[in-house]
Chains A and B, each alone.
Chain A
Amino acid sequence: MANVELKNIKKVYPNGFQAIEKIDLEIRDKEFMVLVGPSGCAKTTTLRMIAGLEEITDGEMYIGEKLVNDVAPKDRDIAMVFQNYALYPHMTVFDNMAFGLKLRKFPKEEIKERVENAAAILGISPLLDRKPKQLSGGQRQRVALGRAIVRNPKVFLMDEPLSNLDAKLRVEMRAELSKLHKELDTTFVYVTHDQTEAMTMGTRICIMYDGDIQQVDDPQTIYDSPTNKFVAEFIGSPQMNIIDSEIIEKNGKIYAKIYDSMLELNPEKAKKVKEKGYIGKKVLLGARPEHGFLVEDGTSATVEVTELLGSETYVYVTMQGKEVVLRVDPDINVQVGQGIEFSFRAEKVHLFDIETELNICE
């Protein structure tokens, strides 16, 4: 069992800065949990508290069934991988991978067995006699992972391990890490600021902002049903469009007003906004670019930029100074400066409270 549980965890630094007011998080056994959020959201602080490198001000931390608040980092049965990793240039790959075990005085035979197993998992067995300078960037990253794997930890903690790699290699390593997670069949906790990494690798994602957890769910649920405006905007590229709107009831139907046009809400959303008393109130309407489409009687806008990506085209339009992005079929021909009308798929839009920014319909 290697679930990790954070109960009422609070973190206040000695200078009085409160990094985390109170969070609860359960990371399940063998899952790939990604902590994602912008700079300063306390994701690394959370990871370091799991590692034991940061003291917990209040609350309880469990790894497996064991309360680890007062357990030294080295006794927590975890392994960490950071963005900076040092491979000792004068040692072979084998010695680099064996180094930590040697420091811990493991028997030679066991070291050999563990290193060879890890090398086989990572596909670097033929490289064991090489020195780091003879390796490519991806191979070096694998060796760094190998140094964590040889320890057979209950939990892997990774803090932006791919951020020093170039874009191409990062994509390759994302897939490698997902594969590795399946192969090792153990718990991964992974910190990143990159929502694409989070979406592609996590079995579940924990979105953090300003020292608090915003939402914990699987990637698809987060994408489809964000709990608030922050999550809605943070996940997805290009970002979700957020438009000032107003809920209107007319002839028994409920609409969200988008500037000069009305979008009829589907029955489910209509029921919720009515129940919650939003009729006649201002709200924020969120719609992803791929849920927009061009129509003849929609919201009027002017095309500012078009981005042709081959399989799809992004059209950046403005309406009364507000920019909106729409993903359209590449066959549709629109020109910069052209006036168009657009709308969104009603079942896919989100409505957020203007004060709390919470998703009204979730």
Chain B
Amino acid sequence: MRLSQVKNIFSKIVPSVNEDLVLVDLEGFIIDSNQIKNHGNQIEVPVYETTKEMFSQGDYDFIFIKQYNSPQFLIGIKDNKEVLNLIKLLFDEKKQEMTKLDFYRELLLGTIKSEEFEDLKYDFVSKDLTNLRTVAFKVNKDDLKNAQIIIDNIFVFDQSILLDSETIVVITDRVDDEIIEHTNNIFSELTTELAIKVTIAIGSKVLNLIDISDSLDDINNILRLADRFNIQKDVYYYEDFLIPLIVDNLPKEILVKFNEENLKKYDEIFKNKDLIFTAESFFKNDLNITETSEKIFVHRNTLIYRINKIKEISGFDLKKFDDAIRFYMILLIKNMNEK
């Protein structure tokens, strides 16, 4: 049990106890008490008594708060063994509530410290997990239960966690292609089988389980960027957001200067729906003229004409990778400004 949890429970007991009550660490320091005078005092800890349910030391009766049979803290009270018994029952109950799902939820929230993680992982992690990603599914709270059944039936061997009333997170060490295939299937299943709207995002890859909250933080970040840059996808994938992440991190003064210099200059392109659609489709189809013209059903000469028109106005030749990247960034900033 973590100190914050123990302190939290202890603080809830304190108002109901009149007798002198202390929370003590294994070095004997009183870390909390209902008597301010006790704070910071040190008492002798009888390490040899750890096998006993309850023991006396000086004016106090004590119990050990244990985790996996290892003592963590002591709680002592003056002159009221009955209350101490009740406190012990309460802590035993709370300890049992720390389930595997609590452990993963707290990992995702980043509230488990590395030293605590080392203790807890033996109880909750069955295999050594490395190269992990999180996948988040956001649905309406009424659909959460059924959505989790579908997710668990596709990510069969992975851990899914109900993070809050509308978010399910899967922690997985599967290869990227498999994650993408599974998430596409889940999108399709939730839509077709349950007819529900879902937002799915795949987070960054982290090396160790202890760092998994970073992957989830990145999901929250890319969903924010999707909104900021008007990017709409069935499944948001962290690796697709490299350029939006770079633009997002540009200092405000650079963006202001950029807007002043460029946005007016390219207004003729921005006002032309066909040119913007053509540029976006060309990017989606990896700068491939044949593929783009087939997908949007314009003659390749029309497509080339439009690409040349963009070049004529802006100087960017979208057939060249460098120019395409620069124009893509301009479009991102334009979309951002429109928000």
Binding site for B on A (CB under 8 A): 13, 15-17, 37-40, 51-53, 72-74, 76, 78-86, 88-91, 99-100, 103, 147-148, 193, 209, 234
A38 touches B187 (CB 8 A): no
A99 touches B195 (CB 8 A): no
Which residue in B156, B186, B191, B193 is a CB contact (below 8 Å) of A103? Answer: B193
Q: Contacts A15-B335, A40-B277, A85-B188: A78 and B193 contacting too (C-beta < 8 A)?
A: no
Binds A, one of B22-30, B92-100, B146-154, B244-252: B146-154
B191 touches A53 (CB 8 A): yes
A86 touches B188 (CB 8 A): yes
B230 touches A15 (CB 8 A): yes
A103 touches B194 (CB 8 A): yes
State A53–B192 Cα separation when bound (angstroms).
10
**B178: shortest Cβ distance to chain A, in Å?**
12
Check if B185 is an interface residue, CB within 8 A of chain A. Answer: yes
Check if B184 is an interface residue, CB within 8 A of chain A. Answer: yes
Residues in chain B near residue A99, CB distance under 8 A: 153, 193
Residue of B nearest to A84 (CB): B188
Check if B50 is an interface residue, CB within 8 A of chain A. Answer: no
Residue of A nearest to B140 (CB): A72
Q: Contacts A39-B295, A40-B296: A82 and B193 contacting too (C-beta < 8 A)?
A: no
Binding site for A on B (CB under 8 A): 146, 149-150, 153-154, 156, 182, 184-189, 191-197, 230, 232, 277, 281, 295-297, 335, 338-339
B335 touches A82 (CB 8 A): no
Residues in chain A near residue B150, CB distance under 8 A: 103
Give 17 pairs: A residue, B residue, CB < 8 Å, sorted on A: A39-B295, A39-B297, A40-B281, A52-B195, A53-B197, A73-B196, A74-B196, A80-B192, A84-B188, A85-B189, A86-B185, A86-B189, A88-B154, A90-B156, A99-B193, A103-B194, A147-B192
Which residue in B156, B193, B338 is a CB contact (below 8 Å) of A15? Answer: B338
B interface SS class: helix
A15 touches B296 (CB 8 A): no
B185 touches A85 (CB 8 A): yes
Q: Beyond the given A39-B281, A73-B195, A85-B185, please list 8 additional residue pairs across the A-B interface where CB-CB is below 8 A.
A: A15-B335, A40-B296, A82-B188, A84-B184, A91-B153, A103-B150, A103-B194, A147-B192
Residues in chain A near residue B230, CB distance under 8 A: 15, 17
Q: Contacts A84-B185, A84-B187: A38 and B192 contacting too (C-beta < 8 A)?
A: no
A16 touches B192 (CB 8 A): no
**A345: shortest Cβ distance to chain B, in Å?**
25
Count CB-based A-B contacts (< 8 Å).
77
Question: By CB atoms of chain A within 10 A, which of B185, B189, B193, B277 has the most?
Answer: B193
State A124–B296 Cα separation when bound (angstroms).
38
A80 touches B338 (CB 8 A): no
Residue of B nearest to A41 (CB): B297
B188 touches A103 (CB 8 A): no
Residues in chain B near residue A209, CB distance under 8 A: 297
Residues in chain A near residue B297, CB distance under 8 A: 37-39, 209, 234
Residues in chain B near residue A17, CB distance under 8 A: 230
Residue of A nearest to B232 (CB): A13
Residues in chain A near residue B277, CB distance under 8 A: 40
Which residue in B185, B186, B192, B197 is a CB contact (below 8 Å) of A81? Answer: B192
State A99–B184 Cα separation when bound (angstroms).
18
B339 touches A15 (CB 8 A): yes
Residues in chain B near residue A88, CB distance under 8 A: 153-154
State A52–B194 Cα separation when bound (angstroms).
12
State A88–B154 Cα separation when bound (angstroms).
6
**A18: shortest Cβ distance to chain B, in Å?**
9
B193 touches A100 (CB 8 A): yes
Question: By CB atoms of chain B within 10 A, which of A74, A76, A81, A90 has the most?
Answer: A74
State A90–B153 Cα separation when bound (angstroms).
8
Residues in chain B near residue A74, CB distance under 8 A: 194-196
A147 touches B188 (CB 8 A): no
State A84–B182 Cα separation when bound (angstroms).
10
Residue of B nearest to A72 (CB): B195
B195 touches A147 (CB 8 A): no
**A304: shortest Cβ distance to chain B, in Å?**
16
Residues in chain B near residue A90, CB distance under 8 A: 153, 156
A86 touches B281 (CB 8 A): no
Residue of A nearest to B197 (CB): A53
B195 touches A51 (CB 8 A): yes
Residues in chain A near residue B335, CB distance under 8 A: 15
**A287: shortest Cβ distance to chain B, in Å?**
17
Residue of A nearest to B292 (CB): A39
**B142: shortest Cβ distance to chain A, in Å?**
10
Q: Contacts A13-B232, A84-B185, A86-B185: A79 and B192 contacting too (C-beta < 8 A)?
A: yes
State A335–B184 Cα separation when bound (angstroms).
50
Residues in chain A near residue B186, CB distance under 8 A: 86
State A72–B156 Cα separation when bound (angstroms).
29
**A55: shortest Cβ distance to chain B, in Å?**
10
State A85–B230 Cα separation when bound (angstroms).
27
**Top 6 closest A-B pairs, CB basis?**
A38-B297, A86-B185, A73-B195, A39-B295, A84-B188, A80-B192
**A251: shortest Cβ distance to chain B, in Å?**
37
Q: Contacts A38-B295, A38-B297, A40-B277: A86 and B195 contacting too (C-beta < 8 A)?
A: no
Residue of A nearest to B183 (CB): A84
